Protein backbone atom coordinates (compact mmCIF):
# COMPACT_ATOMS: atom_id res chain seq x y z
CA UNK A 1 0.00 0.00 0.00
CA UNK A 2 1.93 2.91 -1.30
CA UNK A 3 1.26 6.17 -3.04
CA UNK A 4 0.07 5.47 -6.58
CA UNK A 5 2.18 7.27 -9.22
CA UNK A 6 -0.42 7.03 -11.95
CA UNK A 7 -4.02 5.86 -12.35
CA UNK A 8 -4.45 2.11 -12.72
CA UNK A 9 -6.09 0.91 -15.90
CA UNK A 10 -9.39 -0.89 -15.53
CA UNK A 11 -13.08 -0.43 -14.98
CA UNK A 12 -13.86 2.45 -12.62
CA UNK A 13 -16.88 1.61 -10.46
CA UNK A 14 -17.02 4.79 -8.42
CA UNK A 15 -15.29 6.21 -5.36
CA UNK A 16 -15.17 5.52 -1.65
CA UNK A 17 -13.22 7.52 0.93
CA UNK A 18 -12.04 9.62 -2.01
CA UNK A 19 -10.43 6.62 -3.72
CA UNK A 20 -11.21 5.28 -7.20
CA UNK A 21 -12.62 1.77 -7.16
CA UNK A 22 -10.92 0.00 -10.05
CA UNK A 23 -11.53 -3.51 -11.34
CA UNK A 24 -8.77 -4.72 -13.63
CA UNK A 25 -9.90 -6.70 -16.66
CA UNK A 26 -7.89 -9.71 -15.49
CA UNK A 27 -10.20 -9.88 -12.46
CA UNK A 28 -13.08 -10.81 -14.73
CA UNK A 29 -11.00 -13.68 -16.12
CA UNK A 30 -10.29 -14.88 -12.59
CA UNK A 31 -13.99 -14.73 -11.74
CA UNK A 32 -14.75 -17.15 -14.57
CA UNK A 33 -11.89 -19.47 -13.59
CA UNK A 34 -13.01 -19.54 -9.95
CA UNK A 35 -16.63 -20.08 -11.00
CA UNK A 36 -15.55 -23.14 -13.01
CA UNK A 37 -13.47 -24.49 -10.12
CA UNK A 38 -16.29 -24.03 -7.60
CA UNK A 39 -18.87 -25.44 -10.04
CA UNK A 40 -16.93 -28.66 -10.60
CA UNK A 41 -15.57 -29.16 -7.08
CA UNK A 42 -16.09 -32.60 -5.62
CA UNK A 43 -16.47 -34.10 -9.08
CA UNK A 44 -19.83 -32.42 -9.77
CA UNK A 45 -20.69 -32.24 -13.46
CA UNK A 46 -20.58 -28.77 -14.97
CA UNK A 47 -23.98 -27.34 -15.91
CA UNK A 48 -25.59 -23.96 -16.24
CA UNK A 49 -26.93 -24.25 -12.70
CA UNK A 50 -23.64 -25.33 -11.10
CA UNK A 51 -21.74 -22.63 -13.01
CA UNK A 52 -24.21 -20.01 -11.76
CA UNK A 53 -23.69 -21.17 -8.20
CA UNK A 54 -19.91 -21.18 -8.73
CA UNK A 55 -20.09 -17.65 -10.11
CA UNK A 56 -22.07 -16.50 -7.05
CA UNK A 57 -19.41 -17.94 -4.75
CA UNK A 58 -16.63 -16.33 -6.82
CA UNK A 59 -18.35 -12.94 -6.68
CA UNK A 60 -18.81 -13.27 -2.91
CA UNK A 61 -15.10 -14.04 -2.58
CA UNK A 62 -14.17 -10.87 -4.47
CA UNK A 63 -16.69 -8.90 -2.41
CA UNK A 64 -14.83 -10.13 0.68
CA UNK A 65 -11.53 -9.03 -0.88
CA UNK A 66 -13.07 -5.65 -1.72
CA UNK A 67 -14.26 -5.13 1.87
CA UNK A 68 -10.77 -6.12 3.02
CA UNK A 69 -9.35 -3.28 0.89
CA UNK A 70 -12.05 -0.85 2.03
CA UNK A 71 -10.88 -1.49 5.59
CA UNK A 72 -7.35 -0.48 4.57
CA UNK A 73 -8.72 2.68 2.92
CA UNK A 74 -10.92 3.60 5.90
CA UNK A 75 -8.01 3.22 8.31
CA UNK A 76 -5.70 5.29 6.12
CA UNK A 77 -8.34 8.03 6.01
CA UNK A 78 -8.66 7.84 9.79
CA UNK A 79 -4.97 8.78 9.90
CA UNK A 80 -5.80 11.72 7.58
CA UNK A 81 -4.06 10.12 4.59
CA UNK A 82 -5.30 10.68 1.06
CA UNK A 83 -6.40 7.36 -0.47
CA UNK A 84 -5.81 7.13 -4.21
CA UNK A 85 -7.21 3.80 -5.38
CA UNK A 86 -8.77 0.53 -4.34
CA UNK A 87 -7.90 -1.96 -7.07
CA UNK A 88 -9.23 -5.49 -7.55
CA UNK A 89 -6.66 -7.55 -9.45
CA UNK A 90 -6.16 -11.03 -10.82
CA UNK A 91 -4.82 -12.28 -7.48
CA UNK A 92 -6.83 -10.15 -5.08
CA UNK A 93 -6.47 -6.43 -4.55
CA UNK A 94 -4.46 -3.54 -3.21
CA UNK A 95 -5.06 -0.08 -1.79
CA UNK A 96 -2.78 2.87 -2.54
CA UNK A 97 -2.58 5.83 -0.20
CA UNK A 98 -0.24 8.72 0.61
CA UNK A 99 2.70 7.03 2.33
CA UNK A 100 4.86 10.11 2.80
CA UNK A 101 6.28 10.58 6.30
CA UNK A 102 4.94 7.15 7.22
CA UNK A 103 5.20 5.94 10.82
CA UNK A 104 5.18 2.40 12.27
CA UNK A 105 1.78 3.03 13.86
CA UNK A 106 0.17 4.18 10.61
CA UNK A 107 1.69 1.33 8.59
CA UNK A 108 0.97 -1.39 11.13
CA UNK A 109 -2.59 -0.33 11.92
CA UNK A 110 -3.55 0.27 8.29
CA UNK A 111 -2.11 -3.09 7.25
CA UNK A 112 -3.79 -4.98 10.09
CA UNK A 113 -7.20 -3.51 9.21
CA UNK A 114 -7.66 -5.81 6.20
CA UNK A 115 -7.33 -9.18 7.97
CA UNK A 116 -9.33 -7.83 10.92
CA UNK A 117 -12.16 -6.91 8.54
CA UNK A 118 -12.21 -10.45 7.13
CA UNK A 119 -12.22 -11.87 10.65
CA UNK A 120 -15.20 -9.67 11.52
CA UNK A 121 -17.03 -10.77 8.36
CA UNK A 122 -16.36 -14.41 9.23
CA UNK A 123 -17.76 -13.83 12.71
CA UNK A 124 -20.87 -12.10 11.39
CA UNK A 125 -21.47 -14.95 8.96
CA UNK A 126 -21.14 -17.53 11.76
CA UNK A 127 -23.73 -15.85 14.00
CA UNK A 128 -26.85 -17.15 12.14
CA UNK A 129 -25.19 -20.56 11.81
CA UNK A 130 -24.29 -20.82 15.48
CA UNK A 131 -27.65 -19.50 16.74
CA UNK A 132 -29.66 -21.83 14.51
CA UNK A 133 -31.22 -18.98 12.57
CA UNK A 134 -30.12 -20.91 9.47
CA UNK A 135 -30.43 -24.69 9.51
CA UNK A 136 -28.95 -27.21 7.05
CA UNK A 137 -31.14 -29.48 5.01
CA UNK A 138 -30.40 -32.90 3.59
CA UNK A 139 -29.57 -31.39 0.18
CA UNK A 140 -27.22 -28.70 1.45
CA UNK A 141 -24.06 -30.52 0.42
CA UNK A 142 -25.08 -31.06 -3.20
CA UNK A 143 -23.60 -28.18 -5.18
CA UNK A 144 -26.49 -28.05 -7.62
CA UNK A 145 -28.90 -27.43 -4.74
CA UNK A 146 -26.85 -25.08 -2.58
CA UNK A 147 -29.00 -23.28 -0.04
CA UNK A 148 -28.52 -20.03 1.86
CA UNK A 149 -27.08 -22.04 4.76
CA UNK A 150 -24.21 -23.39 2.62
CA UNK A 151 -23.55 -20.00 1.03
CA UNK A 152 -23.33 -18.26 4.41
CA UNK A 153 -21.14 -21.06 5.74
CA UNK A 154 -18.89 -20.73 2.69
CA UNK A 155 -18.62 -16.96 3.22
CA UNK A 156 -17.62 -17.56 6.84
CA UNK A 157 -14.90 -20.04 5.93
CA UNK A 158 -13.66 -17.95 2.97
CA UNK A 159 -13.23 -14.87 5.15
CA UNK A 160 -11.56 -16.85 7.91
CA UNK A 161 -9.06 -18.23 5.39
CA UNK A 162 -8.50 -14.76 3.91
CA UNK A 163 -7.87 -13.37 7.40
CA UNK A 164 -5.41 -16.12 8.32
CA UNK A 165 -3.53 -16.00 5.01
CA UNK A 166 -3.24 -12.21 4.95
CA UNK A 167 -2.14 -12.18 8.60
CA UNK A 168 0.90 -14.37 7.84
CA UNK A 169 3.93 -12.35 9.00
CA UNK A 170 5.78 -11.99 5.74
CA UNK A 171 5.77 -9.72 2.70
CA UNK A 172 3.63 -9.44 0.55
CA UNK A 173 0.90 -10.30 3.08
CA UNK A 174 -0.54 -7.64 5.38
CA UNK A 175 0.97 -9.47 8.31
CA UNK A 176 4.35 -8.84 6.73
CA UNK A 177 3.76 -5.09 6.85
CA UNK A 178 2.67 -5.42 10.48
CA UNK A 179 5.91 -7.30 11.23
CA UNK A 180 7.85 -4.61 9.35
CA UNK A 181 6.17 -1.91 11.46
CA UNK A 182 6.94 -3.75 14.72
CA UNK A 183 10.63 -4.26 13.87
CA UNK A 184 10.81 -0.67 12.62
CA UNK A 185 9.37 0.60 15.90
CA UNK A 186 11.77 -1.51 18.00
CA UNK A 187 14.94 -0.80 15.98
CA UNK A 188 14.13 2.70 14.77
CA UNK A 189 15.08 1.60 11.24
CA UNK A 190 12.33 1.01 8.71
CA UNK A 191 14.57 -0.88 6.33
CA UNK A 192 15.60 -3.35 9.02
CA UNK A 193 11.89 -4.05 9.43
CA UNK A 194 11.42 -4.42 5.69
CA UNK A 195 14.32 -6.90 5.46
CA UNK A 196 12.92 -8.96 8.34
CA UNK A 197 9.46 -9.08 6.72
CA UNK A 198 10.95 -9.92 3.32
CA UNK A 199 12.95 -12.86 4.70
CA UNK A 200 9.83 -14.03 6.54
CA UNK A 201 7.93 -13.82 3.25
CA UNK A 202 10.51 -16.05 1.60
CA UNK A 203 10.22 -18.55 4.43
CA UNK A 204 6.42 -18.56 4.10
CA UNK A 205 6.70 -19.13 0.33
CA UNK A 206 8.80 -22.23 0.96
CA UNK A 207 6.49 -23.28 3.79
CA UNK A 208 3.43 -23.11 1.52
CA UNK A 209 5.06 -25.57 -0.89
CA UNK A 210 6.02 -27.95 1.92
CA UNK A 211 2.54 -27.86 3.47
CA UNK A 212 0.81 -28.32 0.10
CA UNK A 213 2.90 -31.41 -0.58
CA UNK A 214 2.71 -32.74 2.98
CA UNK A 215 -1.10 -32.65 3.31
CA UNK A 216 -1.78 -35.36 0.67
CA UNK A 217 1.05 -37.50 2.06
CA UNK A 218 -0.46 -37.29 5.54
CA UNK A 219 -3.79 -38.32 4.00
CA UNK A 220 -2.18 -41.44 2.60
CA UNK A 221 -1.77 -40.42 -1.04
CA UNK A 222 0.89 -38.98 -3.26
CA UNK A 223 0.67 -35.30 -4.30
CA UNK A 224 -1.21 -35.05 -7.60
CA UNK A 225 -0.80 -32.51 -10.39
CA UNK A 226 -3.31 -30.13 -8.79
CA UNK A 227 -1.41 -30.12 -5.49
CA UNK A 228 1.88 -29.40 -7.23
CA UNK A 229 0.48 -26.72 -9.57
CA UNK A 230 -1.34 -24.97 -6.72
CA UNK A 231 1.78 -24.97 -4.53
CA UNK A 232 4.05 -23.67 -7.29
CA UNK A 233 1.52 -21.01 -8.29
CA UNK A 234 1.41 -19.60 -4.76
CA UNK A 235 5.21 -19.86 -4.53
CA UNK A 236 5.54 -17.97 -7.82
CA UNK A 237 3.54 -15.12 -6.31
CA UNK A 238 5.07 -14.95 -2.85
CA UNK A 239 8.78 -15.58 -3.49
CA UNK A 240 9.33 -12.86 -6.16
CA UNK A 241 7.37 -10.31 -4.11
CA UNK A 242 9.42 -11.03 -0.99
CA UNK A 243 12.68 -11.06 -2.96
CA UNK A 244 11.87 -7.74 -4.62
CA UNK A 245 11.06 -6.21 -1.21
CA UNK A 246 14.42 -7.45 0.06
CA UNK A 247 16.26 -5.78 -2.82
CA UNK A 248 14.35 -2.54 -2.28
CA UNK A 249 15.11 -2.63 1.45
CA UNK A 250 18.81 -3.15 0.79
CA UNK A 251 18.93 -0.32 -1.74
CA UNK A 252 16.89 2.12 0.35
CA UNK A 253 18.73 1.12 3.50
CA UNK A 254 22.00 2.06 1.83
CA UNK A 255 20.47 5.34 0.68
CA UNK A 256 19.15 6.14 4.14
CA UNK A 257 22.60 5.65 5.68
CA UNK A 258 24.20 8.25 3.40
CA UNK A 259 24.53 11.75 4.88
CA UNK A 260 25.84 14.97 3.40
CA UNK A 261 28.51 15.06 6.10
CA UNK A 262 30.08 11.86 4.77
CA UNK A 263 30.26 13.38 1.30
CA UNK A 264 31.49 16.79 2.39
CA UNK A 265 34.82 18.00 1.01
CA UNK A 266 36.55 20.32 3.54
CA UNK A 267 36.37 23.97 2.50
CA UNK A 268 37.41 27.34 3.80
CA UNK A 269 35.43 30.55 3.32
CA UNK A 270 37.05 33.75 2.09
CA UNK A 271 35.78 37.22 1.24
CA UNK A 272 35.26 38.06 -2.42
CA UNK A 273 37.98 40.73 -2.44
CA UNK A 274 40.97 38.62 -1.35
CA UNK A 275 43.70 37.52 -3.73
CA UNK A 276 44.52 34.04 -4.97
CA UNK A 277 47.56 33.96 -2.70
CA UNK A 278 45.47 34.82 0.37
CA UNK A 279 42.87 32.20 -0.53
CA UNK A 280 45.59 29.54 -0.94
CA UNK A 281 47.12 30.48 2.40
CA UNK A 282 43.72 30.27 4.15
CA UNK A 283 43.01 26.87 2.60
CA UNK A 284 46.43 25.53 3.56
CA UNK A 285 46.01 26.71 7.14
CA UNK A 286 42.58 25.06 7.40
CA UNK A 287 43.57 21.86 5.57
CA UNK A 288 40.83 22.51 3.01
CA UNK A 289 40.77 21.42 -0.63
CA UNK A 290 37.91 23.73 -1.65
CA UNK A 291 37.35 27.46 -1.25
CA UNK A 292 33.91 29.06 -0.87
CA UNK A 293 33.80 32.70 -1.87
CA UNK A 294 31.44 34.92 0.13
CA UNK A 295 29.48 37.83 -1.27
CA UNK A 296 29.28 41.23 0.43
CA UNK A 297 26.32 40.04 2.54
CA UNK A 298 28.19 36.91 3.65
CA UNK A 299 26.24 34.46 1.49
CA UNK A 300 28.09 31.84 -0.56
CA UNK A 301 28.50 33.24 -4.09
CA UNK A 302 31.11 31.00 -5.67
CA UNK A 303 33.63 28.23 -5.14
CA UNK A 304 36.75 26.70 -6.59
CA UNK A 305 39.10 23.78 -5.84
CA UNK A 306 42.39 24.96 -4.34
CA UNK A 307 44.18 22.95 -7.03
CA UNK A 308 42.68 25.22 -9.67
CA UNK A 309 44.88 28.08 -8.45
CA UNK A 310 47.95 26.15 -9.59
CA UNK A 311 47.13 27.50 -13.06
CA UNK A 312 47.97 31.02 -11.82
CA UNK A 313 51.67 31.79 -12.02
CA UNK A 314 53.20 31.94 -8.57
CA UNK A 315 54.54 35.47 -9.00
CA UNK A 316 51.03 36.68 -10.02
CA UNK A 317 49.02 35.11 -7.19
CA UNK A 318 49.49 38.02 -4.78
CA UNK A 319 47.92 40.45 -7.25
CA UNK A 320 45.34 38.18 -8.96
CA UNK A 321 41.70 38.41 -7.82
CA UNK A 322 39.48 35.41 -7.23
CA UNK A 323 37.30 36.15 -10.28
CA UNK A 324 39.94 34.40 -12.40
CA UNK A 325 39.37 31.04 -10.68
CA UNK A 326 35.90 31.27 -9.08
CA UNK A 327 32.93 29.32 -10.41
CA UNK A 328 29.57 30.91 -9.58
CA UNK A 329 27.33 29.26 -7.01
CA UNK A 330 23.55 29.88 -7.17
CA UNK A 331 22.18 31.54 -4.05
CA UNK A 332 20.56 28.96 -1.81
CA UNK A 333 22.53 26.00 -3.15
CA UNK A 334 23.16 24.63 0.33
CA UNK A 335 22.45 21.43 2.23
CA UNK A 336 22.54 20.65 5.92
CA UNK A 337 25.52 18.44 6.78
CA UNK A 338 23.16 16.15 8.72
CA UNK A 339 20.81 15.69 5.74
CA UNK A 340 20.57 12.15 4.42
CA UNK A 341 18.54 9.74 2.35
CA UNK A 342 15.38 11.28 0.98
CA UNK A 343 16.51 14.83 1.87
CA UNK A 344 19.51 14.39 -0.41
CA UNK A 345 17.32 12.94 -3.15
CA UNK A 346 14.99 15.95 -2.91
CA UNK A 347 17.96 18.32 -3.05
CA UNK A 348 19.34 16.53 -6.10
CA UNK A 349 16.02 16.89 -7.89
CA UNK A 350 15.98 20.60 -7.10
CA UNK A 351 19.55 21.50 -8.00
CA UNK A 352 20.72 19.00 -10.62
CA UNK A 353 21.73 20.94 -13.76
CA UNK A 354 21.84 24.27 -11.91
CA UNK A 355 25.06 23.77 -9.95
CA UNK A 356 27.81 21.21 -9.54
CA UNK A 357 28.17 21.57 -5.76
CA UNK A 358 26.21 22.43 -2.65
CA UNK A 359 27.58 24.34 0.31
CA UNK A 360 27.47 22.03 3.36
CA UNK A 361 26.15 23.88 6.42
CA UNK A 362 26.35 22.85 10.07
CA UNK A 363 24.45 25.06 12.57
CA UNK A 364 24.54 27.93 10.10
CA UNK A 365 28.28 27.71 9.45
CA UNK A 366 29.76 26.60 6.14
CA UNK A 367 31.90 23.51 6.73
CA UNK A 368 32.59 22.37 3.18
CA UNK A 369 31.06 21.55 -0.16
CA UNK A 370 29.27 18.47 -1.45
CA UNK A 371 29.74 17.60 -5.11
CA UNK A 372 26.41 16.60 -6.66
CA UNK A 373 28.12 13.87 -8.69
CA UNK A 374 29.38 12.28 -5.46
CA UNK A 375 25.89 12.42 -3.94
CA UNK A 376 24.33 10.85 -7.03
CA UNK A 377 26.86 8.00 -6.99
CA UNK A 378 26.36 7.35 -3.27
CA UNK A 379 22.56 7.23 -3.58
CA UNK A 380 22.42 4.83 -6.52
**pLDDT one-digit tens code per residue, 338-361:** 887 777 877 877 888 888 888 999
Higher pLDDT, 181 or 250: 181
Model pLDDT, residue 45 = 77
**Structure confidence by residue, pLDDT tens digits, 112-138:** 999 999 999 999 999 988 887 776 654
Model pLDDT, residue 50 = 79
Model pLDDT, residue 324 = 87
pTM, rounded to two decimals? 0.70
| Beta strand extents in the chain (DSSP E only) | 11-16, 19-23, 83-89, 92-97, 265-271, 290-294, 300-305, 327-328, 334-336, 357-362, 365-371
Please determine, for residue 201, whether its predicted confidence score (pLDDT) is greater than 90.
yes
Model pLDDT, residue 137 = 56
Of 128-132, 146-150, 221-225, 372-376, the range with the lowest mean pLDDT is 146-150
Region 323-346: mean pLDDT is: 85
Please determine, for residue 143, whether its predicted confidence score (pLDDT) is greater than 50.
no
**Structure confidence by residue, pLDDT tens digits, 272-291:** 999 999 999 999 999 999 99
Per the DSSP assignment, residues forming a β-bridge with 365 are 362
**Structure confidence by residue, pLDDT tens digits, 73-109:** 999 999 999 999 999 888 788 899 988 778 999 999 9
**Angle separating helix axes 225-257 and 190-218, nearest 10 degrees:** 170
Please determine, for residue 1, whether its predicted confidence score (pLDDT) is greater than 70.
no
Give 43's pLDDT tier (boundaries 50, 70, 90). Answer: low
The set of residues, in sequence order, having a beta carbon less than 8 Å from that of 79 and lying 6+ positions away, is 106, 109, 110
Q: Chain-wide mean pLDDT for the chain? A: 86
Using alpha carbons, select from 21, 61, 68 the residue that is nearest to residue 175. Answer: 68
Region 32-46: mean pLDDT is: 78
Please determine, for residue 54, whether its predicted confidence score (pLDDT) is greater than 90.
no
The answer to whether the CB of 367 falls within 8 A of the CB of 337 is: yes
Model pLDDT, residue 2 = 45
Instruction: Give percent of the chain above pLDDT 70.
Output: 94
In the β-sheet with 19-23, what is the strand arrangement from edge to edge? 11-16, 19-23, 83-89, 92-97
Cβ-in-10-Å burial (0-12, 13-18, 19+) of 5 comes to exposed
Q: Give phi and psi for 322, each to the nearest 5.
A: -70, -15
Q: Up-side HSE of residue 135: CA atoms within 13 Å toward CB?
A: 3
DSSP-assigned states of every residue in 302-342: EEEEGGGGGGS-GGGTTT-BGGGTPEE--TT-EEETT-BTH
Count of H-run helices and E-run strands, the chain: 11, 11
Region 45-62: mean pLDDT is: 85
Please determine, for residue 380, whether its predicted confidence score (pLDDT) is greater than 80.
no
Amino acid sequence: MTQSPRPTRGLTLGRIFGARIVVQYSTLVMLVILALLFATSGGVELSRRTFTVGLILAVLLFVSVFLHEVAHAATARAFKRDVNEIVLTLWGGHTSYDARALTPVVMGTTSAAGPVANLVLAGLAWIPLATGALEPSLMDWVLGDVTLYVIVQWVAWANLILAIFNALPGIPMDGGRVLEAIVWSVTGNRYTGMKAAAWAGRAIAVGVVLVALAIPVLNGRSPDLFDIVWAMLVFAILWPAASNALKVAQALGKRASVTARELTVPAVTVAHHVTVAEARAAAEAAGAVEVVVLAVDGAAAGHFPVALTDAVEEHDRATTGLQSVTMPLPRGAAVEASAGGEALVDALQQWWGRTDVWVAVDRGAIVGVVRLADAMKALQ
